[in-house]
Amino acid sequence: MKTYICLTKEAAKLNTFTIKDIENLTGIKAHTLRIWEQRYNLLLPRRKETNHRIYDNDALKALLRVAQLYHSGMKISRIAAMTPEEIRNATLEHLEGEHLYTSYVSQLIECSIEFDQPRFERIFHSILLHMGFEKCITKVIYPFLHRIGLLWVTGNVIPSQEHFASTIIRSKLIVATDGLNVSIASDDHYLTFLPEGELHEIPLLYVNYLLKKNGKQVTNLGPDVPLDDVTCFARYKKPSHVLTYMMTHVSKPDMHAYISLVKELGQQTKMLVMGPAVGHLAHVEGITVIKTAAELEAYAAIQ
């Protein structure tokens, strides 16, 4: 699993970006960007008093489009010879597969940097029409979240652009889940939650969507839930499954606490864990480790 990225504090406060920010957002190495700058006079950045490069919103948008064409296989010498309008038009032409996904990711980043909610929503709905909800989330939204740093670990500075985008995506997931017209199996009840300290709901909300799509009754306790609260609910409602999604590192004492919960709830309740923090685990006593969304769907289909 890749480490999630985060924009610098400077980018968050001033809407200016360092060359490292540009590398993270475009997927092009800083060394390569410097070569392009020198060889092709491509988007010369401004300089701080320390002589460090800084880029503004317009430079970022232009470089996102350049990166999109470059990643699709176009030579940088050809891109550098094009006008900004030609570059913009080229990014909208004849894209398919991974290149189309990359294009959508770049467009959503542009919208987030500019806080352009109407355009963000238009692009989101265009993605839905082209590829459906699940591919929209897995092929576009997750890479977008990775690129802009929305899934950065708890405790780091989160730029306002991240809050802006995550709020929109969160609302889309909730609406999509509520809109599922499925027959709920009354004897199959999943309790879902994020552990204490885990605040980013988007992966868990997508899990809830997949479970409900597969006919499961779902109760979501939300983010940052103490284990005592989970235990209280489980004792009272006796769900068939308890599922949590872990983004950050899980210590041995933490995992022992979940094993203790499993033992207390008894065989009638199954415990499932998902997320980057548990992907390396091969076996945990009494706990099922789910490593991918596809594994979860397969599990839900037979349980």
C-alpha 298/C-alpha 159 separation (Å) is 36
Residue 72: φ, ψ to 5°: -80, -5
Residue 243: φ, ψ to 5°: -130, 135
Residue 84 DSSP one-character state: H
- Please report, in tens digits, the pLDDT of each residue of the chain (303 residues total): 333 344 454 444 456 778 888 888 888 898 999 899 888 887 766 666 565 778 887 888 888 889 888 888 889 999 999 998 898 888 777 566 677 888 898 889 888 888 899 999 999 999 998 889 999 999 999 989 888 764 343 333 356 778 889 999 999 999 999 998 777 666 789 999 998 888 889 999 999 999 999 889 999 999 999 989 999 998 898 899 999 998 776 655 566 777 787 777 777 888 888 888 777 776 677 788 888 888 888 887 766
Model confidence, pTM: 0.75
Residue ranges matching CATH 3.40.50.280 in the chain: 182-302
Q: Are 127 and 140 spatial neighbours (Cβ–Cβ below 8 Å)?
A: yes
Alpha-carbon 94 to chain mean position: 26
Tell me which CATH code domain 182-302 carries.
3.40.50.280
Strands (DSSP E) found in the chain: 46-47, 53-54, 185-193, 216-220, 241-245, 270-274, 287-289
Residue ranges matching CATH 1.10.1660.10 in the chain: 9-172
Tell me which CATH code domain 9-172 carries.
1.10.1660.10
Note the residue count of the chain: 303
